């Protein structure tokens, strides 16, 4: 855990069911974002503790879901197409806690992702949600069934349109997502729908295998930030 005096939040976004259009009145407010450690601090030997931290908003049990990453680590994960990270580029922004630098960061989205990374990372994330669904983790299999399907739909949209959809309202299979979230499904339906979308993701990748991360532009942007934020 870092000392809050050592970094500055540049971007904070609303994520989870409230961002996905799948919330109910009792849904938590979950946040993810990015903070910036001054370049001078990054060069010190204790830098390992400055990668990730949690917003501590009182004694709330949701604190573990309110996570932010240091800018450089965030961008590294983005180039690996981590679904949790990529959503931060397109999730609703908490304006009062975000900066112009955060807005500039979000404009990098078209340059950070790559087709192969999306297929592997989103399918991998989906498989992790499937495991939790089958194991009935936390006694909430409906949560993981929903996340499993949603992630695959997001991957398909990204590979076919170049855009990451966060709010699923009105999108393909939205009503199915709502039913899954409410626990109104049969086991066979969950497995059938997700397998169908897995096939669609693979097909989408086959039609768009060559989209690459523009790593030179990403590094150039990050280097400019590091130079201008020495302390």
Residues 89 and 159 both lie in one domain: no
Residues 131 and 192 both lie in one domain: yes
Tokens coding 201: 């993701």
pLDDT at 58: 43
The parent domain of residue 161 ranges over 115-207
* Mean pLDDT in order along the chain per 10 residues (231 residues): 63 96 91 93 70 54 71 96 98 96 98 98 97 94 97 97 96 94 96 97 96 98 97 86
Residues 38 and 129 both lie in one domain: no
Cβ neighbours, 10 Å, residue 93: 17
pLDDT at 9: 94
The pTM score is: 0.89
Specify the number of domains making up the chain.
2
Q: Are 35 and 53 in contact (CB under 8 A)?
A: yes
Residues 73 and 164 both lie in one domain: no
Residues 219 and 109 both lie in one domain: yes
Residues 175 and 164 both lie in one domain: yes
pLDDT at 136: 93
Residues 32 and 101 both lie in one domain: yes
Separation CA 166–CA 177 (nearest Å): 13
Residues 48 and 81 both lie in one domain: yes
Q: How far is CA 50 from CA 1, 8, 160, in A?
A: 7, 12, 36
Separation CA 109–CA 218 (nearest Å): 10
Residues 12 and 91 both lie in one domain: yes
Q: Are 24 and 40 in contact (CB under 8 A)?
A: no
Residues 122 and 199 both lie in one domain: yes
Closest CA to 107 of 86, 89, 121: 89
Nearest-5° Cα angle at 87, 150 to 110? 115
Residues 31 and 109 both lie in one domain: yes
Residues 48 and 135 both lie in one domain: no
Separation CA 93–CA 30 (nearest Å): 12
């Amino acid at each position: 855990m870092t000392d809050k005096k050592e970094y500055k939040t540049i971007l904070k976004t609303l994520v989870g069911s409230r961002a996905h259009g799948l919330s109910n009145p009792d849904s938590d407010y979950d946040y993810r974002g990015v903070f910036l450690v001054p370049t001078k601090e990054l060069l010190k030997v204790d830098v390992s503790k400055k990668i990730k931290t949690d917003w501590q908003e009182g004694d709330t049990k949701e604190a573990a879901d309110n996570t932010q990453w240091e800018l450089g680590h965030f961008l590294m994960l983005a180039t690996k197409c981590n679904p949790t990270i990529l959503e931060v580029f397109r999730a609703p922004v908490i304006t009062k806690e975000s900066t112009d630098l955060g807005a500039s960061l979000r404009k990098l989205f078209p340059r950070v992702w790559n087709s192969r990374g999306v297929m592997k990372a989103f399918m991998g994330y989906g498989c992790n949600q499937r495991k939790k669904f089958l194991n009935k983790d936390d006694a909430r299999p409906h949560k993981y069934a929903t996340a499993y399907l949603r992630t695959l739909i997001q991957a398909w949209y990204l590979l076919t349109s170049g855009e990451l959809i966060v709010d699923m309202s009105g999108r393909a299979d939205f009503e199915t997502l709502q039913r899954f979230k409410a626990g109104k499904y049969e086991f066979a339906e969950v497995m059938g729908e997700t397998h169908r979308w897995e096939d669609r993701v693979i097909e989408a990748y086959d039609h768009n295998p060559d989209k690459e991360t523009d790593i030179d532009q990403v590094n150039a942007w990050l280097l400019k930030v590091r130079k201008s934020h020495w302390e």
